[in-house]
Structure 1
Amino acid sequence: MGDSNHHVNLHVSKFEAPAKLKTLSFALIAIGLVTFLVGLMKNQDRLWTSYLVAFFFFSAMAVSGLFWIAINSVAKAGWSVTIRRYAEATTSFIPAILIGGLIMLVGFKHLYPWANPEVIAGSPVIAAKTGYLNAGFFVVRLFIFAVGCMIFRWILVGNSLKQDQTGDDSLTLKSVPPAVGFIVFFALAFSFFSVDLLMSLLPTWYSTIFGVYTFAGMFQAGMAFLAIVIILMRRHGFVKGYVTVEHQHDVVKYLKGFSIFWAYIAFSQFMLIWYANIPEETEYYIMRAQGGWMSISLILLVFRFVVPFLALLPRGAKRTDNHVIAVSILVLAMQYLDIYWMVYPNFFDGHVTFGFWEVGIFAGFAGLFLLTIMSFWSKHSLVPLKDPRIHEAINHHVAY
């Protein structure tokens, strides 16, 4: 009887982007383009640092959606079928990783000391790393990451969309091998992507778990975004019965879990470097313990870990819409701040700088991200109705 009541109001509306949201997207893109062009003429140093932070933020958001699709496919998870399309939408931004990466090459020498022959000549430590840190190999790795993600997206999201048309159940199982392949590819390629774009800003420093650190932050932020989308879709009546508070509950458990995982990796990286006290390693944290950067370091500890962890601990908190939205927005803000914290101390010693350039460039990327997501939803069903595991998702209940 419970099941039949649960199925009474099953309904999926076609998504049509509100005119105001489309206008906002184009306005944000315009702001970003104007900021970029003015920056090229007036202040390339601030332009490229703000560009790098925003580019990495949205690239990580897009790839986190693909990773989430892959792990659910490998786990043969049925509960997540009805919310899969939200994660698939974020992957629409993946082609922009290739384009954005190529644009970033224009500001290459403004960002990376190892791209400057004089710096290499003056530092034996950096000179010893030129086998890896050189422009040609950097471009190859960036290309492999972007194109690899595009290919896996084409297969995994493509199979999902094809199933909407054909109803072919076998497509669900056919997605498992490429999903396994993507997870292996992602583990290596995202680590290289993080090391190349962020860690090599300070080429004398290194951390063996830097890729894991950036992955933890990426996935925590991805789950925060997914939680917000689930709530908004339910609130505005686009999906009834297919997406429930039960799905929200499980996604928020991911969010809480990765808040802990991020803190664990952050502590592990810091503690080992502090304990070993090797000059080449400690310089990274010394830079982030001076001036205003110490405040940012403490803000990250409190608002990226302590607050989300405590705020999402009770069962009821995971099922309260406004509470989840507030915590998720906080996590997304901390993801931006974390990337900012990894980038800016390398350029602005001791003082925190934030303003027009950072806001303008971020606005441009945000507008493009929003536009790609809305375009995807408007072209495809918000729920993969012909997935063979959809009944498992409809009847999903969280027991703990």
Structure 2
Amino acid sequence: MADHNHANLHVSKFEAPAKLKTLSFALVAIGLLTFVIGLMKNPDRLWTSYLVAFFFFSCLGLSGLFWVALNNTAKAGWSVTIRRFAEATTSFIPWIFVGGLVLLLGFKKLYLWADPAAVAANPVIAAKTAYLNTGFFLVRLFVFVVGCLVFRWIIVGNSLKQDQNGDANLTHKNVGPSIAFLVFFALMFSFFSVDLLMSLLPTWYSTIYGIYTFAGLFQAGLAFLAIVIVLMKRSGMVKGYVTVEHQHDVVKYLKGFTVFWAYIAFSQFMLMWYANLPEETEFYIMRSLGGWMSISTALLIFRFVVPFIALLPRGAKRSDNNVIAVSVLVLIMQYVDIYWLVYPNFFDGQVTFGFWEIGIFAGFAGLFMLCLFSFWSKHSLVPLKDPRMHEALSHHVAY
């Protein structure tokens, strides 16, 4: 507990409710059971559902580190009191390394270019083997995940170290590594998304695919952060430190990146539709056949139109119930978006969803929750000794 000489300030030690812990372990068990059954009964559906859930939760974990680095780079003081919420999601990053290793078991089930016979039969794929080969794929994946782990160790580590020694210089020391991470992330996340998702259709390419997946990553990360802010604020565990003013600014970011996602999605579609080149249009043709057209339309409506309108008024950004409802919708559509990027490559015109997708997602969700609970239980919910704390406490949104 800390009150900083203010009677209305209070930070409680976080302890996850026993029922939530039990639920998390149960979800992990469901995921593991689904994985084992899938390996024996339906490996095709297992690996597609695994890839979607793995990429979804990887994005949530990475979005937290990006958010922290972005605010460190800008030397933003207003977000200090909510920083620990974003830092908690980074505790999932080590599991990206583990999950990536598991993904290698289903490598040939997912990636056509990993099959020498398929490469030899298709000159378009064969022309890309300098990049699309297993060895180089592993190098890129290793560099990205280990790089993120190192940056997390430095950036989040300095933040947590400051809780112990109160060294104000640690705040300033984090600026350099944060700038370096943003540069590293801009390049390596593009490789990560191209390797895991775009290369599922190796005859197709998009020069802004990395930006598209990044827009989805950050929109979903902001939605998750907004939900945590509302729940923590309601719980009273961060009384006075986290207010509706912080919520308002995070939701403004969320609305902004809702527009950004739509802009990038439209830019990619419009240029390919206008050029009408066979090697480019096959991606959208696959997603306009059968039930996939409904999913494509739903993405436009529920990932852009509804969140944009629902978050437009000032009061909507400050309404807890509205923020939670819209943020949950954004997270659902992030999953649908990744599903839309993956599944049409394997199921022509057929939308399929069921036991495998739910079970694998449940396993990752339980693991993600346990990571959050462990982080928050070990560390203060607010970085109390940050020298910019006064900026966060006096933060007020004027518009």
What amino acid does structure 2 have at the position aligned with 1:128?
A
Alignment of 1:1-400 (within 5 A): 7-400=6-399
Q: Deviations over 1:274-321 (max 9, x none)?
A: 001110100000000000000000000000000000000000000000
Cα distance in 2, alignment partners of residues 242 and 90 from structure 1: 20
Cα distance in 2, alignment partners of residues 139 and 36 from structure 1: 23
Q: Deviations over 1:361-400 (max 9, x none)?
A: 0000000000000000000000000000001001100000
What amino acid does structure 2 have at the position aligned with 1:51?
Y
Cα distance in 1, alignment partners of residues 236 and 375 from structure 2: 18
Alignment gaps of 5+ in structure 2: none
What amino acid does structure 2 have at the position aligned with 1:243?
V
Cα distance in 1, alignment partners of residues 164 and 116 from structure 2: 55
Cα distance in 2, alignment partners of residues 234 and 77 from structure 1: 21
What amino acid does structure 1 have at the position aligned with 2:138?
V
What amino acid does structure 2 have at the position aligned with 1:266?
A
What amino acid does structure 2 have at the position aligned with 1:10?
L
User: Which TM-score applies when normalising by structure 2?
Assistant: 0.99
What amino acid does structure 2 have at the position aligned with 1:294?
M
Cα distance in 1, alignment partners of residues 38 and 392 from structure 2: 48
User: Which TM-score applies when normalising by structure 1?
Assistant: 0.98
Q: Deviations over 1:33-63 (max 9, x none)?
A: 0000000000000000000000000001000
Alignment gaps of 5+ in structure 1: none
Cα distance in 2, alignment partners of residues 174 and 323 from structure 1: 38
Cα distance in 1, alignment partners of residues 16 and 149 from structure 2: 25
Secondary structure of the structure 1 residue equivalent to 2:350: coil
What amino acid does structure 1 have at the position aligned with 2:40?
M
What amino acid does structure 2 have at the position aligned with 1:215?
F
Instruction: Using the TM superposition, give the Cα deviation of residue 237 of structure 1 relative to its aligned residue in structure 2, in angstroms.
Output: 1.0
Cα distance in 2, alignment partners of residues 295 and 75 from structure 1: 41
Secondary structure of the structure 1 residue equivalent to 2:232: helix
Instruction: Using the TM superposition, give the Cα deviation of residue 8 of structure 1 relative to its aligned residue in structure 2, in angstroms.
Output: 3.3
Cα distance in 2, alignment partners of residues 116 and 152 from structure 1: 35
Cα distance in 2, alignment partners of residues 48 and 93 from structure 1: 20
What amino acid does structure 1 have at the position aligned with 2:37?
V
Cα distance in 1, alignment partners of residues 134 and 271 from structure 2: 31
Instruction: Using the TM superposition, give the Cα deviation of residue 235 of structure 1 relative to its aligned residue in structure 2, in angstroms.
Output: 0.8
What amino acid does structure 2 have at the position aligned with 1:339?
I
Q: Deviations over 1:139-180 (max 9, x none)?
A: 111111110000000000000000000000000000000000
Which 4+ runs in 1 deviate beyond 3 A?
Answer: none
Cα distance in 2, alignment partners of residues 23 and 140 from structure 1: 37
Cα distance in 2, alignment partners of residues 178 and 64 from structure 1: 16
Instruction: Using the TM superposition, give the Cα deviation of residue 118 of structure 1 relative to its aligned residue in structure 2, in angstroms.
Output: 1.1
Q: Deviations over 1:197-225 (max 9, x none)?
A: 00000000000000000000000000000
What amino acid does structure 2 have at the position aligned with 1:58?
F
Cα distance in 2, alignment partners of residues 368 and 238 from structure 1: 23
Q: Deviations over 1:312-333 (max 9, x none)?
A: 0000000000000000000000
What amino acid does structure 2 have at the position aligned with 1:306?
V
Q: Deviations over 1:58-93 (max 9, x none)?
A: 001000000000010000000000000000000000
